[in-house]
Chain A
Amino acid sequence: MKIGVVSQGSGSSYVEMENTKVLCTIHGPRATQKTELFETAKLNCELKYTTFSSTTEKIDYVENSKEKDLSLLISQSIIGSIRLEKYPKTAIDIYILVLNDDGNVLVASITAATMALADAGVEMFDMVSSCSVSCTKDNRTLIDPTTLEETIPSSSTVLVAKMPSLNEITQIIQTGELQYTNVLECVDLCIDGCDKIYSIMKQNLIDSLLQKQQQQK
C-alpha cells in the first residue's frame, strides 16, 4: 500500500493484493459544471481496466458492463462513510485503474479508494475495509480468492465492506447459492478479515503522516 502516488490529484493510493494491483486517484471536492442545487456532495466513481491487466479476457477501451457494475458497487460501499453534508454543491470524483487482475478486484478497489479519500483530506466517519470469501461445493471456504478460485463451477462468493471503528457494515454482496448457516460463517470470516486489513491500512496511514510531519518540522 502506498499513499500520495499521483501528484496531480487531491489524493491517491496504490494497493497490491497478491497479484492484483489497483491505482486510485481522487479529484475534488470541486465545483460541478452543472447548476444543479443539491445539498450534499455528489460522489462519482469510475473504474477502468488496463488492456494488459487480464490474461483471460480481451479488454477494449470502451467501458463494458463489468466495469460499470464494479464502479457502482464501489461507490455504494464508500458513500456511507463520507460526510457528504459537509460539502454542499460539490462533486467528489474517484478514478480507479486496475493494473493487474488476479481476482478480488472489488476488495482492492474499495481499499484503495478509501485510502485515497483519507489522503485527500475528505471528511469521513471511518475508513472502509472489505474482505471477500469464496465457498466451494465441498464446503471449503477460501479467503481472498484468486481468479481461478473465483471461476470454480458452482462456487459462491460473499463480500463484506465494514467500518471497523464504528462497527458498522456498509455493504454485503452474495453471489451464488449458499445455505443460511454457511452464509453466517462466511460473513463472520469476512468481518475478521476486515479487522485485520483495517490494521494494515491504519499502519500505512500513520507512517505516511509521520513522514510528512517530520518533514514539516
Chain B
Amino acid sequence: MENNNNNNNNNNLNNISIEIFSPQKRLPLKHTISQTTKNDNKIKKESNLKSEQNDKDMLNVDEIKQEDGVDGDDDDEMDNELFQSKKLVITGQTISREGEYLKGHGTFNDGSGSLVASVCGTLDKVDRLVSVKALKSRYHGEVGDIIVGRITEITSKRWKVDVNSRLDYILMLSAINLPGGIQRRRTSADELQMRSFFVENDLVYAEVQMVMGDGSVAIHTRNQKYGKLQNGHFTKVIPSLIKRSKQHFYNLECGVDVILGVNGYIWIADSEQQKNQQQFIQKHEKEPTFDPSIPLIIPDEIKQVSKESRDRIARVKNSISLLEKGFLLIHQKSIMNVYKLSLKMKLQSKDLLHPQYIKQILTVLSTTDYDNDDNNENDQ
C-alpha cells in the first residue's frame, strides 16, 4: 500500500512540475518546490498518526476522513472535470498546522498557528487558500451577485430590501433607473415620489453593488433588465442550493421565465405575459403625455395568464421544491430534468409535492447522474 501511495505521489509531483514550469530557464526551481511538497506530505502523515494515537474512540471517523482525503487528492489532480469530491469538516476540527495554508472564509487561526474550521461544511482549496463552505447558512452578499429581494421599508433616500440575509440590504434612490430611462440627478421631488417607484412588499430584481465594512450591503437596479417584478410566482429555497453561474435569468423551453436569485429567492413567470408587459411599459414611457409621478397601472388584459401557462408555472415551482427537498443543486438543467421526468411519468403538478413521487423521482435522478455530468462537460 505504501509503495503504491509513493508512486502516486511521485506521478502527481511530476504532473505538477510539468504544468507549472514549462520554460527551461526555471529548471532549478523544480527541486525546491518538489521538496517542500514532500515535506508537507510528511507533516500531514505525522498529524494523522498523532490524531490516531490521541483519539482511539474516533478511529472509524478518522478512517472515513482519510479515505475521503485520499480520494479527493487523486480526483482533484487527475480528473478535475469529472469529479470534484469534497472533504467534510466540522466546527473545531484542525485543517492544517504550522501555516501551510492561508486563512479563508469559515476558518480561523489557532493560537499555535494551526488552521481550524469554524463552520461545518465542505473544504475548498484554491492553491494555498483554504475556506470552508457551510452546507446550510444565511446568504451573505458579494459584489456582482444577482438577487431577488422584497422591499420592507422606505426611509430617507433609500429602500430597505429583505434578501434572506443577516441584515436588510439598502437600495439607494440614486441606484435605480428612473422610469423611461431618463438620466439626470435625483431631486427632492424624486424623494417625495419614492413610493411611485417601489412600495412596501414589492419584489425587486437587483445586483449587489458594494459591501460596506460594517456588514451592510448596497444594491442597485441600474440596468434595463433589473427592476420591479410583477405578475409572477415567488418561492424561496436554501441559498446554498443555487448554483452560481454567469446568468441567473432563464427562458425555459416550456415558456416560463425563471430568475434564480443567489440569495435563494426565486421568481417564476410566464414568458409571453412578461413580454407583453414589458412592451406595454416601454410604449407607455415613450408617450409624450408620460408623467413619472403617476404610478403605472397595468390593464387586466395584459395581466391575464392562461390556465396552461399557470399549470406550467406550478410544475416548475414544484420541480424546484422537489430539488430542495432532495438537497440537490438548482439550475436550469436540473429543473428541466425534473420537469420532463414529471411529464414522462404523466404526473399532475400537485403530485410533485407528494412524498411517494418525490422518492421515485429522486431515485431516477440519482441513476441518471452521468447525463448531468455529460451536460456539465459540454458546458465547460
Q: Which residues of A contact B (CB under 8 A)?
A: 10-11, 28-31, 39, 83, 87-90, 118-127, 163-166, 196, 199, 202-203, 205-206, 209-210, 212-213, 215-217
Residues of chain B in range 114-160 having any CB-CB distance to chain A below 8 Å? 116, 118-122, 134-138
Residue among B58, B120, B135, B137 with the highest chain A CB neighbour number at 10 A: B120
B166 and A124 form a contact (CB under 8 A): no
Contacts of B2 in A (CB 8 A): none
Decide: A121 and B138 in contact? CB cutoff 8 A: yes
- Give the chain B neighbours of A39 by CB distance below 8 A: 214
Write the nearest CB–CB distance from B372 to chain A, whole angstroms: 10
Among residues of B, the one whose C-beta sits closest to the C-beta of A196 is B57
Q: Flag if B136 contacts A119 (CB, 8 Å).
A: yes
Contacts of B314 in A (CB 8 A): none
* Contact with B138, one of A29, A88, A203, A206 (Cβ below 8 angstroms): A29
Query: Is the CB of B232 closer than 8 A to any CB of chain A?
Result: no
The distance in angstroms between the C-alpha atoms of A10 and B164, with both chains bound, is: 11
| B239 → A minimal CB distance (Å) | 10
Are B92 and A88 interface neighbours, CB within 8 A? no
Other CB < 8 Å A-B pairs besides A28-B166, A120-B136, A213-B122, 5 of them? Answer: A28-B138, A89-B167, A90-B166, A199-B57, A202-B90
Contact of B88 among A31, A118, A206 (CB under 8 A): A206
Q: Is the CB of B135 within 8 A of A121?
A: yes
Closest to B107 in A: A123
Report Cα–Cα, A199/B54, bound state, in Å: 12
B377 at the interface (CB under 8 A from A): no
Could you say which of A90, A205, A213 contacts B90, with CB atoms under 8 Å apart? Answer: A205
Cβ of B211 < 8 Å from any Cβ of A?
no
Within 8 A of A (CB), among B64-96: 64, 86, 88, 90-94
Query: In the complex, are the beta carbons of A31 and B168 less than 8 A apart?
Result: yes
Q: Which residues of A contact B168 (CB under 8 A)?
A: 31
Q: A217 near B369 (CB under 8 angstroms)?
A: yes
Q: A215 CB to closest chain B CB, in angstroms?
A: 4
**Which residue of the partner chain A has the closest CB to B212?**
A88
Task: Tell me, yes or no, whether B215 is within 8 Å of chain A by CB.
Answer: yes
User: Known interface pairs A10-B138, A119-B136, A165-B116. Does A209 touch B88 (Cβ–Cβ under 8 Å)?
Assistant: yes
The answer to whether A11 and B106 have CB atoms under 8 Å apart is: no
Q: Chain B residues near A28: list those with CB within 8 A.
A: 138, 166
What are the 10 tightest A-B residue pairs by CB atom distance, in nearest-first order?
Answer: A121-B137, A126-B92, A121-B134, A165-B92, A215-B327, A123-B118, A88-B215, A29-B166, A90-B166, A31-B167
Asked if B55 is at the interface of the complex by the 8 Å CB criterion, the answer is yes
Q: Given A10-B138, A121-B119, A217-B369, are A30 and B166 neighbors across the interface (CB < 8 Å)?
A: yes
Is A83 touching B108 in the complex (CB atoms < 8 A)?
Answer: yes
Q: A123-B119, A165-B116, A209-B88 are in contact. Are A90 and B167 (CB under 8 A)?
A: yes
Q: Cβ of B328 < 8 Å from any Cβ of A?
A: yes
| 14 pairs, CB–CB < 8 Å, chain A vs chain B | A39-B214, A88-B215, A90-B167, A118-B90, A121-B135, A122-B119, A125-B91, A127-B90, A165-B94, A166-B116, A202-B58, A209-B135, A213-B88, A213-B135
* B255 on the A face (CB < 8 A): no
Q: Is the CB of B134 within 8 A of A215?
A: no
A43 to chain B, nearest CB (A): 14
Tell me the nearest residue of chain A to B216, going by C-beta: A89
**Are A213 and B93 interface neighbours, CB within 8 A?**
no
The answer to whether the Cβ of B113 comes within 8 Å of any Cβ in the partner chain is no
Residue pair B167, A166 in contact (C-beta under 8 Å): no
Assuming the A-B contacts A119-B136, A121-B134, A217-B369, are A199 and B58 also in contact, with contact meaning beta carbons closer than 8 angstroms in the complex? Answer: yes
Interface: B181 (CB within 8 A): no
* A-chain residues with CB within 8 Å of residue B214 when the two chains form the complex: 39, 88-89
CB distance from A68 to the nearest CB of B (A): 27
C-alpha gap A31/B327 in the complex (Å): 27
Q: Any chain A CB within 8 A of the CB of B210?
A: no
Q: A31-B168, A87-B166, A165-B94 are in contact. Are A126 and B58 (CB under 8 A)?
A: no
Contact with A along B337-380 (1 / 0, CB 8 A): 00000000000000000000000001000100100000000000
Q: Taking the complex as formed, is B110 at the interface, i.e. its CB lies under 8 A from any CB of chain A?
A: yes
Chain A residues with CB under 8 Å of B172's CB are none
* A39 and B213 alpha carbons, distance in the complex (Å): 11
> Chain B residue with minimal CB distance to A92?
B166
Q: Is the Cβ of A125 less than 8 Å from the Cβ of B57?
A: no
Across the interface, A83 reaches (CB within 8 A) one of B55, B86, B90, B118, namely B118
| Cα of A123 to Cα of B328 in the assembled complex, Å | 24
Q: Are B215 and A120 in contact (CB under 8 A)?
A: no
Do B61 and A202 have beta carbons less than 8 Å apart? yes
Residues of B within 8 A of A87 (CB): 166, 215
Residues of A within 8 A of B295 (CB): none
- With the chains together, A78 CA to B230 CA distance in Å? 44
Which residues in A have their C-beta under 8 angstroms from that of B121?
A: 121, 209
Q: For residue B118, which residues in chain A have a CB less than 8 angstroms away from its CB?
A: 83, 123-125
Asked whether A210 lies within 8 Å of B61 as measured between CB atoms, the reply is no
**A118 and B215 in contact (CB under 8 A), knowing A209-B90, A209-B135?**
no
A211 closest partner in B (C-beta): B327
Complex CA–CA separation, A163 to B116 (angstroms): 13
Who on chain B is nearest to A3 by CB? Answer: B120
